[in-house]
Chain A
Amino acid sequence: MSPRYLELVCPAGTPAALRAAVDAGADTVYCGFRDCTNARNYPGLNFDPDELREGIGYAHERGRHVLVAINTFPRAGDQGPWQRAVDEAAAAGADAVILADLGVLDYATRRHPGLRRHLSVQASAANAPSIAFYREHFGIRRVVLPRVLSIAEVAALVEETGVETEVFAFGSVGPMSEGRCFLSSYLTGLSPTSEGACAPASHVAYVERNGEVLSRLGTTTLNRFAPGEPAAYPTPCKGRYVTLGRASYLFEEPVGLNALGFLPELKAAGVTALKIEGRQRSRAYVSQVVGTFRAALDALARGEPPPAAALTGETEGGRETAGAYRRGWR
């Protein structure tokens, strides 16, 4: 592997995906337990404690790191699962835990002071005083920045806070008030921030009708895709709504974030790590996206231009965007 240009942090929803990420060139892999303590709580996904131990062993043998996301918010009066998750991550030898809730941060700080703590994007810390608060009170070493900042704003935060920053390089994009979005709970009755799933699969339905596909969340139809039109996830922020007689994407279009084209700018901004989103995706996606970013980072580390690569086949809606990095937030 070439000298590190930017740390490549990659998703793993299963032990097989973890191995795929490591084999494809991830510096670091993040994953979560099979329960409500992480924000990708989907059926059949995630790790039990034994699988986590084995996965960490696989990564460490190859000089890579594993982070454990415990990044949902405990239900009132029910800290138990979140505290157990922190204990199990520490016992399994995780290199860091990714946390969002103040109580869970406090527990990890007191109970496992030697365990590195990262601030999850779910904490939605997007300004210097907020990040400084988490650094001073909970000793966070890294903040995962919300997808609402321009590159100039990221650079300013790096300068002001002195905390490592991890930014999203590939995956979903939405009108994020991350960790504070309850849109899907109005349609499903389930909280995305405590149950760990926005648009939970149990409430999603796809209906094929005359070549069109209707996507539904609960009893609400969120979108209708014409024959051949690329489809998207049924999340409320990417629904197509009729206003003034016209159907349009009011909040955000179904597109995927791809920062492959401006990695040097992110490095110049002082970013430490790039995050690939997609623990709910397959190991085929992980291999493809991680391999592409690995090749680009290695080329840049050698002072060469990154090889041409197309990842639109992996993006939601079959389209890519630079998100807020280029245009700032609306």
Chain B
Amino acid sequence: MERSEPPLALLRSAATVLPPAILNRLAAAVVRGLERTRPKLIANFAQLPAAVVVVAPTDLPYRFALSVGRRPVALRIVDGDPGPADAGVSGDVATLIDLVEGRIDGDSLFFRRDLVISGDTAVVVGLRNVLDREELSVAGELGALCGPLRPQARAVARALDRALDGLGRRLAAMHRTLHPPGDRPPDVAAEIDRCRGEIAALTARLAALEARQKRRDERDA
């Protein structure tokens, strides 16, 4: 499998724009592809204790729920509550891809607090070790979905990634132009103080009205 830089801008954009139904079809296709091309990886996933691991990229709107310890191994992409999970891993998408591709050490990330682990640590450690046995390439595995058109797909993906990366930079520049650093943000604290004062005044006025009404009721009685 060829190793190449993951098209991060394209992946981020696709994960943001595409609906979960389409992403889930892609995820299922990737797992089916891995069953063909990397049977040992899938067998090692299946040998882990039965568990659902939720991988939550901090800069994507979706979470990935991977079911291991059974056949078939399943990968779901969800945009809401992923349901009960045995373990969780969280970090930004670039870090997570580096981890999957073996470019970075999980323990080092943990020492630096760049990776957050929760739930059953044995499941997370097992998953990390099983992945590290393989020399995976996210771009390569996605490209494999295109079959004989893989070279063309890679070229299109690279072009799209560059275009999206450029677009992102231009949008960021536009944002900086529209909101120059000199722009004073609204004084939130002063606004809160003003609201508090208004609430206090209204509360006092309400209390006075209630007292007046009470006196009237007593007089009429």
Contact = CB atoms under 8 A, between A and B. Distances in A.
A is bound by B: yes
Interface string A280-292: 1111110010000
Interface of B: 44, 48-49, 102-108, 110-113, 116-130, 132-135
9 closest cross-chain pairs (CB), A and B: A44-B129, A43-B126, A285-B105, A201-B122, A44-B126, A202-B122, A204-B121, A201-B125, A14-B133
Interface string A1-21: 000000000000111110000
Interface of A: 13-17, 42-45, 200-202, 204-208, 213, 225, 228-232, 280-285, 288, 313-318
Interface of A is mostly: mixed
A313 B103 contact: no
**Max chain B Cβ within 10 angstroms of own Cβ: one of A201, A228, A230, A284:** A284
Contacts of B123: 43
5 contacts: A16-B102, A16-B132, A45-B129, A202-B122, A228-B113
B68 to A, nearest CB: 10
A14 B111 CA distance: 22
A314 B135 CA distance: 21
Nearest to A285: B105
B130 A44 contact: yes
Contacts of B104: 282, 284
B13 to A, nearest CB: 27
A317 B111 CA distance: 6
Nearest to B45: A44
A38 B123 CA distance: 20
A282 B134 CA distance: 11
A43 B118 contact: no
Given A14-B129, A284-B104, 20 more contacts: A13-B129, A14-B132, A16-B102, A42-B126, A42-B129, A43-B123, A43-B125, A44-B126, A44-B127, A202-B122, A204-B121, A206-B116, A206-B117, A206-B121, A281-B105, A282-B128, A282-B132, A285-B105, A313-B108, A314-B108
A280 B104 CA distance: 14
Contact of B102 (A201, A204, A231, A284): A284
A280 B110 CA distance: 14
